[in-house]
Amino acid sequence: MCAGLSVQLVAGEAIRILGVNGAGKSSLLKVIAGVMSPLKGEIHYLGHDVTHDRRPLQQDMLYLGHSLGIKNLLTVSEHIRHYCPSVLPETLQTVLTQLGLIDYADTQVKALSAGQKQRVALSRLWVENKVLWLLDEPFATLDVNAVALLELRIKQHVSAGGLVLFTTHQEVLSLNAREVSWLV
C-alpha cells in the first residue's frame, strides 16, 4: 500500500481518505477493521499495538464497508434489532422516522431500493454506541436529503468526541473533515 503513511486520529475528528478507484482506500479500512491483515506496518489504538489482536479496537469500532452487511430476509426493524438487540422501541421509531424508513419498518430489506438499503445499513450509526466509525463510501446511493442527514449525524458524533474515518468520491461540503490522500 502506501509507504510511510502515518495517520493519527484525535477524538472529535473526521478524516476523509481521498484517492482514485483502486488506490486501496477500502483495503486500508479493512486492515484497520481487521477484515484483512496488513502486509507490513502496525496499527496502534489507545497507545497499544493492535495489529494482530484487534479486540480492544473492535469493541469501540463500527465498520460499514461496501458490502452493507444487511440481512435481506429480515424486515427493516428486525435488521436494526439484529445489530442492536437492546434498542428501545421509541429509539427505533425515532431512527426509522429520521431515516425515512418508518413506512418500511415491516418490509423485508430485499424489497427496498439501493438507497433505502444504504439507509438501513447506516441506521447502526444511530443505534450502536461506538467511538470509532470506519465508513467506506457511506454516501453512495443516497439522495440529497439522506446525504444531509448523514453529514449531520457525523457532525454530532464528532462533536461528542467520536472519531470518523471515511472514504467518498462525493463532495461533502458541510463536514469539516481533514483529508488524507491515499496512493498505492
State the cell numbers at 69.
452487511
Which three cell numbers, joined as nine digits, stand for 145? 436529503
Kindly list the domain boundaries of the chain, sorted by start residue.
16-181
Q: How far is 24 from 102, CA to CA, in rounded Å?
A: 36
pLDDT of residue 179: 66
Candidates 163, 157, 161; CA nearest to 178 is 163
What is the grid cell recorded at 152? 449531520
Q: 16-181: what CATH class? A: alpha beta
Question: Which pLDDT tens digits describe the chain residue by residue (184 residues)?
Answer: 455 566 777 889 998 888 788 888 888 889 888 888 888 888 888 888 888 888 888 899 999 988 878 889 999 999 999 999 999 999 999 999 999 999 999 999 999 999 999 999 999 999 999 999 999 999 888 898 998 999 999 999 999 999 999 988 766 656 677 666 655 4
Determine phi and psi for 107, rounding to 5 degrees. Answer: -95, 135
Alpha-carbon torsion 70, 73, 79, 81, what sign?
Answer: negative
- Measure the N-to-C terminal CA separation of the chain; round to a whole number of Å: 5
**3-class state of residue 45 by DSSP:** strand
The helix or strand, by DSSP H or E, that contains position 155, with its residue range, turns out to be helix 144-159
Q: In this structure, how many other beta carbons lie within 10 angstroms of the beta carbon of residue 111?
A: 12
